[in-house]
Chains A and B, each alone.
Chain A
């Protein structure tokens, strides 16, 4: 692991960090009501997005890095031009907005509004019109978490093709919804406590959840089938799936209110890397002196960023050893694949030769 780049720009705990699709930019939001944009390669801050009047809970960038959208505790969601940092539209809600994410094609966006002050927790989906600044204020679809069905939505993510939305609930439940009709497609309850994060694989066919119950779990989008689980020794706040290598990264730590009596090492303020398929823990990255609130991985799998309760963002570019590490089983599998490939090539060449001879 290379020396991390420490990004100090926020004055309060980070709530989310995200790479854009190209991975050259890093977007971060914090309780200090500001969103920041950074170069991921060197940690230079390009600018900030100002305008929210409360904690910004969530941020997302569309696939082309044209638009940025944010969800805030000030009862609004905002749409920004990525290039200029100007706010072009504001959605007003009746409750704090907790989570926002662009659909895979960038033409839609969902917000989760919180279940407070008599409001029902809702996932609101809006169309994004790329041709103009003004957007529609009425959602194309509302998925209401009707009282009695489950506890409030905490997080959500789009499934592949933008066809479905999977959501995590405060009681550890997961639910799946049709993104066109809003129909309930099924639910499971894999966690005992609040689901703190859902992040999908690059092709959005499976996803990882993290929970306060000290575990992270991997599910497929189609059947919500539990594929893998990764137990941990501290409550988890976030988890992500790395491209290229078959790893997952989780982050968390003892809750801020519980750590006053414990030292930094006891709070388990570490990012942990597990093997995605074998579930074993491979490594730990220390550094933060508060819980990790979010971990995000570079879309090309070359780096990851973590945002901490301590107000710092740490960007780690992976070293060679990270890419070289392989289980013996993986090595042999790779060797076998290579052999099979060679054999095929050889056969084809032989065929060609034969054809040539025949000709």
Chain B
């Protein structure tokens, strides 16, 4: 046996000794969740040691609200408290409670408490995952995308439109009857579904499987992305501040420890939500919602689900028996922190403009108003009401009975509201329509009721006027689409004699012209008023009819003399494939198109001017959508506009000359192209003829040698001999 070497204590390198067995043996066995009972509170006052007991008392009282405190330590260093304290609760639930309620709490003006789990401190701070030094986040440099409204600077003031055909999307300058000029070269795969302009035309949104992309500027560069997988529907607030998206796929947060969790856009409160509101400028989500349970797994979705007030100040969402109205400027919090309970609410609609209520002073800002309706229930009649925001006071309610359905139609400025009430007889066998017209700007909001025999299927207000047009049809069991049974009716208010001492009565609407026997089922009022286009869509006939409501000519006898309007049909067209119809913002042109999303017949588009002349027609296989680029409101004052109107003659002369020159340029180009084609063809033919001659294959038949043989046959049918004396 070898002799044991002498154990020299001083020579031992402690780092080399294996203590693992001892560590194992004396390891503190913290019970499960033991550490979760502790919280660390930072941000408490730094006070002299003598004040520590007072501080401890104050904090103990505060933290005591959230659960039973086992122990509270206020560490002291160099005669001063350190600013942080440790609290041990009797269980983990209490600790979580304290974090939930006290984190971010202000102790006084200067001190804000930051409460965290002790385990988090261990996890993030001690492990070195969080750096000790503060790294200033880099704010990405502002990237200019050019002037976002460059299209408005066009010298000729031309409009833009978007064409989507097959997989290709292009934006073009509209040049009346001439070939449109591409604003950018058409892009393929620009969207996986459809494209959408923002309401004022600043942005262009395209859908992708992973979300929305936003484009803008003269070259339509990408401005931002909105990450929302499988997004299907998109909507934009009227002032282009917010974007609303809906996806059938609920938002799923990556697990806590997943690397993508930190950069994930949505917080834990968004788990399972499908509807997202985004701030367009930051491209970050500001609010998310789950779908109301009655809309889950529905094949067709009412859209938009979130409606906005005209000024983007409020938005609202309908749920069962309640309306949630959010104050946009106040972090999207509910107005008065509660829902607006409206039992049975079926539909609501914001006024598209600010309403100047008669009760207000003239200098008061216009009000935000919305309307809604509720159906009949056991002890209550159906109602259509108008509510003011944010006061939530109901300004006017109309009670209705025997109601099967209602629809709300606002006039473009919010001055009038027409509630179309579809009613049924007691036996419920026949249906008829009743129009309730609210005059928002009159004292007490008078409501006029117009009773009709027919069922109204479409209503269109003159956007800035008081006239409207309806399409109606008699309600009968035999609704054969092959027979034209629809009628168009034009409504205007009765003329009132103006003068001193005559009280201006409230407006009365009268139908001043009706034409029956139509197929039309869609009516579009020009954005600038006066002109109306009716169309029969989704129909075999495909009629288009143009009307002028202020026709300058003798008024025919069949129109009521009581109104100022004089309606005249200007033109009719046939357009079989028609699936969509949209006015250009200035009201000068209207585009109709046939989308291959609906059917494959005559896909393409046609553009007419407001008096019904066809300007341009293109038949494009696989054509999908046509979208006019919207324009913001004009900046011209009333005086400016008047001036323009006055010197219209000079302007038009100038513009006509420009148009002619433009047309010539295009014509010349076309002629040159044709000349080349003709020349190419002729020279090719010549070479072929020469070749054939060489091969001795020239047609042996001479074109000039046509022999026409005319045979005249005389057939004697009858012969009679008469002797003339």
Residues of A within 8 A of B602 (CB): 233, 266, 268
Q: Which residues of A contact B684 (CB under 8 A)?
A: 220, 227
- With A203-B699, A265-B576, A330-B678 known to touch, is A231 a contact of B601 (CB < 8 Å)? no
Across the interface, which residues of A come within 8 angstroms of B130, CB to CB? none
Q: With A265-B576, A328-B671 given, is the CB distance from A277 to B540 under 8 Å?
A: no
B621, CB-defined interface residue at 8 Å: yes
CB distance from B165 to the nearest CB of A (A): 12
Residues 46-59 of chain A: 1 if any B CB is under 8 Å from the residue's CB, otherwise 0? 00000000000000
Instruction: Fill in one digit per residue for A227-245: 1 if any B CB lies within 8 Å of its CB, else 0.
Output: 1000101000000000000
Q: Within residues 277 to 298 of chain A, which ones have a CB less than 8 A from any CB in chain B?
A: 277-278
- Chain B: minimal CB distance from A265 (Å): 6
- Whether A277 contacts B701 in the complex (CB less than 8 A), given A160-B692, A233-B602, A266-B601, comes out as no
Q: Are B540 and A263 in contact (CB under 8 A)?
A: yes
Which of A63, A268, A277 is close to B677, meaning CB atoms less than 8 Å apart? A277
Give Cα A268 to B682, complex, Å. Answer: 33
Instruction: Tell me, rounded to whole Å, the shortest Cβ–Cβ distance linking B596 to chain A.
Output: 12
Q: Which of B689-713 contact A (CB under 8 A)?
A: 689, 692, 695, 697, 699, 701, 703, 706
- Which one of B577, B621, B688 contacts A231 once the chains associate, using CB atoms below 8 Å? B621
Other A-B contacts than A161-B695, A266-B576, 9 sampled, CB-CB below 8 A, are A203-B688, A214-B621, A246-B681, A263-B540, A266-B540, A278-B674, A278-B677, A278-B678, A300-B706
A262 to B540, Cβ gap below 8 A?
A: yes
**Closest A-chain residue to B706, C-beta based?**
A300
Number of A-B contacts (CB under 8 A): 55
Contact indicator per residue, chain B 670-683, by CB within 8 Å of chain A (1) or not (0): 01001101100110
| CB closest chain-B residue, reference A254 | B601
A213–B69 CA distance with the chains assembled, in angstroms: 81
Residues of A within 8 A of B689 (CB): 203
In the bound complex, do residue A333 and residue B540 qualify as a contact, i.e. CB atoms below 8 Å apart? no
Task: Specify which chain B residues have a CB less than 8 angstroms from the CB of A333 in the assembled complex.
Answer: 675, 678, 682
Enumerate A160-198 residues with CB–CB distance to B below 8 Å: 160-161
Chain A residue with Cβ nearest B685: A205
Check A327–B674 contact: CB distance below 8 A.
yes
Asked whether, in the complex, the Cβ of B619 is within 8 Å of the Cβ of A233, the reply is yes
A-B contacts, 20 of them at CB < 8 A, read: A63-B701, A160-B692, A160-B697, A202-B699, A203-B692, A203-B699, A205-B688, A233-B603, A233-B604, A246-B681, A266-B577, A268-B602, A278-B674, A278-B678, A300-B703, A328-B671, A329-B671, A329-B674, A329-B675, A329-B678
- Complex-state Cα separation, A205 to B689, whole angstroms: 9
**Closest residue to A329 on the B side, CB-wise?**
B674
Q: How far is the CB of B519 from chain A (nearest CB, A)?
A: 12
Chain A contacts of B703 at CB under 8 A? 300
Q: Which of A300-359 contact B (CB under 8 A)?
A: 300, 327-330, 333
Partner of B697, one of A161, A202, A206, A262: A161
- Measured in the bound complex, the distance between the Cα atoms of B601 and A106 in whole Å is 43
How near does chain A come to B480, taking the closest CB pair, in angstroms? 15
Tell me the bound Cα distance from A329 to B676 in angstroms.
10
**Chain B interface category by residue count:** 20 to 34
Which residues of B are at the interface with A, using a C-beta cutoff of 8 A?
A: 540, 574, 576-577, 601-604, 619, 621, 671, 674-675, 677-678, 681-682, 684, 688-689, 692, 695, 697, 699, 701, 703, 706
| Total chain A interface residues with beta-carbon distance under 8 A | 27
Min CB distance, A247 to chain B, in Å?
13
Residue of B with least CB distance to A23: B706
Write the residues of chain A forming the contact surface with B, with a CB cutoff of 8 angstroms: 21, 63, 160-161, 202-203, 205-206, 214, 220, 227, 231, 233, 246, 262-263, 265-266, 268, 277-278, 300, 327-330, 333
Task: Give B117 Cβ to nearest chain A Cβ, in Å.
Answer: 65
**Would you give the shortest CB distance from A233 to chain B, in whole angstroms?**
5
Complex CA distance for A38 and B604, rounded to whole angstroms:
41
Residues in B whose Cβ lies below 8 Å from that of A277: 674, 677-678, 681
Q: Hey, which chain B residues are within 8 Å of A268, CB to CB? A: 602
A278 to B697: give the CA distance in the assembly, Å. Answer: 28
Q: How distant is the Cα of A284 from the Cα of B176 in the complex, in angstroms? A: 25
Cα A228 to Cα B671 with chains together (Å):
18
Give chain B residues whose Cβ lies under 8 Å from the Cβ of A328. 671
Across the interface, which residues of B come within 8 angstroms of A202, CB to CB? 699
Rounded to whole Å, the gap between the CB of B605 and the closest CB of chain A is: 13
- Cα A327 to Cα B574 in complex, Å, equals 28
Chain A residues contacting B677 (CB-CB under 8 Å) are 277-278
Chain A to chain B: the 8 pairs with minimum beta-carbon distance, closest first: A329-B674, A161-B697, A277-B681, A205-B688, A266-B576, A233-B619, A263-B540, A329-B675
How far in angstroms is the closest Cβ of chain B from A128?
A: 18
Instruction: Give the distance in Å from the alpha carbon of A328 to the alpha carbon of B692 in the complex.
Output: 31
User: Once bound together, how far apart are the Cα atoms of A328 and B673, in whole Å?
Assistant: 12
The residues of A that contact B577 with a CB separation of less than 8 Å are 266
Q: How far is the CB of A268 from chain B (nearest CB, A)?
A: 8
> Which residue of chain A has its CB nearest to the CB of B699?
A203
Contact of B701 with A21 in the complex, beta carbons under 8 Å? yes
Could you tell me the distance between the alpha carbons of A268 and B701 in the complex, rounded to whole angstroms?
A: 37
Which of A233, A246, A262, A265 is the one whose CB lies under 8 Å from B621? A233
When distances are taken between beta carbons in the complex, the residues of chain B under 8 Å from A205 are 688, 692
Q: Which residues of B contact A231 (CB under 8 A)?
A: 621
Which partner residue on chain A sits nearest B695 by CB separation? Answer: A161
CB distance from A118 to the nearest CB of B (A): 35
- Chain A residue at smallest Cβ distance from B604: A233
Taking CB as reference atom, which chain A residue is nearest B681?
A: A277
Identity of the chain B residue whose Cβ is nearest the Cβ of A246 in the assembled complex: B681
For A300, what are the chain B residues with a Cβ–Cβ distance below 8 Å? 703, 706
Give Cα A57–Cα B701 distance, bound, in whole angstroms. 29
Q: Which residues of A contact B603 (CB under 8 A)?
A: 233
Q: Which residue of A lies closest to B541 (CB)?
A: A263
**Which of chain B's residues have a CB closer than 8 A to the CB of A227?**
684
A5 CB, min distance to chain B CBs, angstroms: 19
Q: Which residues of A contact B675 (CB under 8 A)?
A: 329, 333
Among residues of B, the one whose C-beta sits closest to the C-beta of A161 is: B697
Bound complex: CA A259 to CA B246 (Å): 38
The CA-CA distance from A162 to B674 in the complex, in Å, is 33
Q: How far is the CB of A218 from chain B (nearest CB, A)?
A: 10
- Report chain B residues within 8 Å CB of A21: 701
Which single residue of chain B is at the shortest CB-CB distance from A300? B706
- C-alpha gap A203/B576 in the complex (Å): 41
CA distance A277 to B679 in the complex (A): 10
- When chains A and B are docked, how far (Å) is the Cα of A277 from the Cα of B699? 23
Residues on B with C-beta less than 8 A from A330 are 678
How far apart sit A329 and B621, CA to CA, in the bound complex (Å)?
Answer: 29
Give the chain A neighbours of B576 by CB distance below 8 A: 265-266
Chain A min CB distance to B585 (Å):
30
CB neighbours of B706 from chain A (8 A):
300
Residues of B within 8 A of A266 (CB): 540, 576-577, 601-602
* B175 CB to nearest A CB, Å: 19
Chain A residue nearest to B689 in the complex (CB): A203
| Neighbouring B residues of A214 by C-beta, 8 Å | 621
Write out the residue numbers on chain B whose beta carbons fall within 8 Å of the beta carbon of A329. 671, 674-675, 678
Q: Are B601 and A262 interface neighbours, CB within 8 A?
A: yes
| Residue from A231, A262, A266, A300 with most neighbouring chain B CB atoms (10 Å) | A266
CA distance A251 to B476 in the complex (A): 43
Which of chain A's residues have a CB closer than 8 A to the CB of B674? 277-278, 327, 329
B695 proximity list for chain A (CB < 8 A): 161
Nearest-neighbour CB distance to chain B for A132, whole angstroms, equals 24
Cα separation A160 to B688 with both chains bound (whole Å)? 11
User: Which B residues touch A262, using CB under 8 A?
Assistant: 540, 601
Tell me, rounded to whole Å, the shortest Cβ–Cβ distance linking B36 to chain A: 67
Closest chain B residue to A267, Cβ basis? B601
Nearest CB on A from B6, distance (A): 93
Closest to B577 in A: A266
Task: Report the bound CA distance from A328 to B602 in whole Å.
Answer: 30
